[in-house]
Copies of this chain bind each other. A is one copy, B any other.
Amino acid sequence: MPLDDRKLEVLRAIVEDYVATREPVGSRALVERHKLNVSPATVRNDMAVLEEEGYIRQPHTSAGRVPTDRGYRLFVDRLSKIKPLSAAERRAIERFMVGAVDLDDVVHRTVRLLAQLTQQVAVVQYPSLTRSAVRHLELVSISTTRMLLVVITDTGRVEQRVVELPGPTSDDDIAEMRRLINAQLGGRLLSETPQLVQTMVDEAEPNLRAPMASLGSVLLETLVERHDERIAMAGTANLTRNGLVDFPGSIRPVLEALEEEVVLLKLIGEVEGENATPRVRIGDENEFVDLRSTSVVSSGYGPGDTVVGGLGVVGPTRMDYPGTIATVRAVARYVGDLLAQN
């Protein structure tokens, strides 16, 4: 049975009331708080249909109705507009972010900002290495057979690794290698590096072959193979905002899942090419069982239309979707603009 407009309206009302009060909503309360111009009995009939279709359910007989994951999905897709941010929120973003001194600082501030605005758990992925370009490569001699490789990207991220050299290598040789790799790789996307590194090693002068090979393999390992993308998180305390009401059983599995960087990266890092509209995953739709009682709102961010990382929030399925989506989008844009300025 297709849902007519009034049934949709009823669903919307249920979602809104339930999110606001976190109590199952009954037919009488519904007609009182929304001007539906029909009687409770009529609403009850609509509810019966909505329940049959799986959009709402009753916790027990003789209780009101509660949206299901499917109900939230319909609500998000068809029944809600993204709330424009309030002036206060815009100001909060400005105030919070102004004066950030480096990338670490930007990420930290962003994640706390998100947590505070949405009152939920916020996660921000550091700008991904593979999607960034090399600004500069620095080699620093530590001993005769070891040197430090420092990679500086155009997103301001810095990575360092120790390179074990096959044999004693002079400072001059190191300087030459520095010149070489900067000439070859400077300005290139990290994702392009593998081939470049290969040819570079092949074309190096004989006496630099061996050390260049060591350097090359560390480079590849660091930048490409090892995808230990870093993330920052804040606001875990928000999980307990309403006691434990929002999480059936315990919040423990949720906390555990949130400590797994791998899980978070999957959650936040899998962003499509768009920065414009946040992606919403509701309850069941999550691939991680431990997060089935939560919803995730995530977005890519980056300068302009490019995506260098993801950010988002994790909260109970019973969340204020329009508000959260709007906030995530606004923050993602703001951070993108910030990165573009550098």
Report which A residues bind B (CB closer than 8 A). Answer: 101-102, 104-105, 135-136, 138, 140, 142, 148, 150, 152, 156, 158, 160-162, 228, 230, 234-237, 239-241, 243-244, 250-252, 255-256, 259
Q: Is the Cβ of B236 less than 8 Å from the Cβ of A240? A: no
In the complex the two chains form, what is the Cα distance from A256 to B115 in whole Å? Answer: 12
Q: Is the Cβ of B252 less than 8 Å from the Cβ of A234? A: no
Least CB distance from A276 to B in Å reads 29
When A136-B140, A252-B240, A259-B234 are in contact, do A160 and B160 touch as well, CB less than 8 Å? Answer: no
Contacts of A102 in B (CB 8 A): 160-162
In the complex the two chains form, what is the Cα distance from A255 to B156 in whole Å? Answer: 31
Total copies of this chain within the assembly: 2
Q: Is the Cβ of B152 less than 8 Å from the Cβ of A152? A: no
Contact of A160 among B158, B162, B236 (CB under 8 A): B158
Least CB distance from A192 to B in Å reads 21
Contact of A148 among B104, B136, B230 (CB under 8 A): B136
Contacts of A241 in B (CB 8 A): 252
Least CB distance from A245 to B in Å reads 12
Least CB distance from A167 to B in Å reads 20
Q: Which residue of B lies closest to A142 (CB)?
A: B135
Contacts of A135 in B (CB 8 A): 140, 142, 148
